[in-house]
Amino acid sequence: MKPKIERDTVSRLHPMMLVGTGSDVGKSILATAFCRIFRQDGYRPAPFKAQNMALNSFATPEGLEIGRAQAVQAEAAGIPCHTDMNPLLLKPLSDHTSQVVLNGRPIGNRSAYDYFRREGREALRQEVCAAYDRLAARYNPIVLEGAGSISEINLRDTDLVNMPMAAHAGADVFLVGDIDRGGVFASLYGSMALLRPEERHLIKGIFVNKFRGDLRLFESGARMLEDLCGVPVLGVIPYYKDIIIEEEDSVSLTAKSMEAQRGKVNVAVVLLRHLSNFTDFNSLEQDPRVHLFYTNNTQELSKADIIILPGSKNTMGDLVELRRNGVAGAILRAKREGATVLGICGGYQMMGREIFDPEHVEGDTECLPGLGILPVCTRMTKNKVTRQIRFRLMCADKQVEMEGYEIHMGVTTPDKGEPISPLACLADGTEDGYMVNNRCMGTYLHGILDNQPFVDFLLAPYMEKAKERSSFDYRAFKEEQYDKLAAHVRAHANIPLLYNILTTGSL
């Protein structure tokens, strides 16, 4: 880790904005890296993305909702996350409709067509610009992130997140291209060529991301890009596999669907169609005692020691799908044969006896039988609960305080005549979840698996089969990964030139 410089020895920097030639070129990861680099160098950076689209969200300390990527970037910057870092969040409900979350609170559902119409866009623009201004008054530098491609010229007039945001912030903008997918020259040059002259003037450099092979082979390519685009290539960042940073999108989860392994506790996360908050399971994925895989294959589920039903953006729809594809039956069989079943948020709701939706929060179905694994019932509500939580396990011998967060609609209570048996006692004196025994439980607490004591409790019945017995500190692991990412980017980026640009605005 680079030694930290005292903040009063460094100058104030311009905002830095990372934009892309397309989606998934690595903007979020580079933003995370620079948040950590600036922190190491004595600054007090903060991330900002005006508009994000993701099911993977997080609750701020104030109990409001933002995209998970900005929460990760804030963690890399060493500061608490805040809705000003992501004032506008779109949570997809279908291919055409999203829940719109403004300044941390849902304001309704909108179709893509309605959302991108000009009517009402200026009001949203004012909101995101105001959020940026508040953030910039507290932190420096702001590391802004664009969304998708900067060259979607058909959406230019309604764009809130890319070049109009850069202009408002007065940011020095850096264009990111993904060389691994091919066509990096055309995508970078074409993206620049499609910008208006005043927008092109804001671009101060290029990052070529995800390079594989000998970097010397691209030296002439970098010079060609500089000649074509008229700005310097500030870095050619190699592809990496040994640095683990939480991902925003769940597109890679199916690649983690694998057979059970000997010598480890096999944990299967049920692959739901509307799965949300999949980062709940990152800690288990890195735990050397665990083999984690995602699946909706009934044969693979039968080989798991622990089955986790995750959160869902459409609990009742996913529950219907689990019955249709046979996964519901496979979960019940596995439980009868001794497997642990844990439900988190929507998964907890599915484990109960019934789900009621009289207000049609999720659709037209007003009542649906659950899996019947837990003696609880859920009533869907229009009010959304978002909050960070400190809690203790009711069943633990050693009462260690842990942390998690809630993002859900619905209230779950024991069925009539059933005993109260909560999993956790919350810091405010209320209770959460339901526990039948140490192999059958549910909770609303996202992030519960980031707590080493709970993971130790979950794995305890199976530790005789694990070769590795030591507990795993996920928080220390994440800090190590942020430092490794910063070192990786430092080694392949022209940091002195970057600082010169962010200080003077000139190339």
For residue 397, name the pLDDT band (cuts at 50, 70, 90): low
Task: Report phi then psi at 441, rounded to 5.
Answer: -160, 160
pLDDT of residue 414 exceeding 60: yes
pLDDT of residue 449 exceeding 50: yes
Q: What is the DSSP string of 324-389?
A: HTTHHHHHHHHHHTT-EEEEETHHHHHHSSEEE-TT-SSSS--EEE---SSSEEEEEEEEEEEEEE
Cβ distance 452 to 472 under 8 Å?
yes
The structural architecture, per CATH, of the domain 264-466 is: 3-Layer(aba) Sandwich (3.40)
Hey, what are 402's tokens?
């842990």
For residue 253, name the pLDDT band (cuts at 50, 70, 90): low
CATH number of 7-50+70-80+133-244+480-504: 3.40.50.300
For the chain, which residues make up each domain, given as ranges?
A: 7-50+70-80+133-244+480-504, 264-466
446 is catalytic: yes
Alpha-carbon distances, residue 179 vs 150, 230, 324, 493 (angstroms): 17, 19, 41, 16
35 is catalytic: no
CA neighbours within 13 Å on the CB side: how many for 334? 30
**Of the listed ranges 130-144, 236-250, 295-309, 415-429, the one predicted with least confidence:** 236-250
Average pLDDT (337-346) is 97
Q: Does residue 496 have a cis bond before it (omega within 30 degrees)?
A: no
Is the model more confident about 441 or about 112?
Answer: 441
pLDDT of residue 245 exceeding 80: yes
Average pLDDT (486-497) is 97
How does pLDDT run across 82-101, given as a tens digit for each residue? Answer: 999 999 999 887 777 888 89
- What is the SS3 assignment for 16? strand
pLDDT of residue 113 exceeding 70: no
Cβ distance 334 to 301 under 8 Å?
yes
pLDDT of residue 401 exceeding 50: yes
Q: Look over the chain and give the mean of its residue pLDDT values, rounded to a whole number.
A: 91
How does pLDDT run across 282-298, given as a tens digit for each residue? Answer: 999 999 999 999 999 99
Two domains, one topology: 7-50+70-80+133-244+480-504 and 264-466 = yes
Q: Which of 35, 81, 229, 345 is catalytic?
A: 345
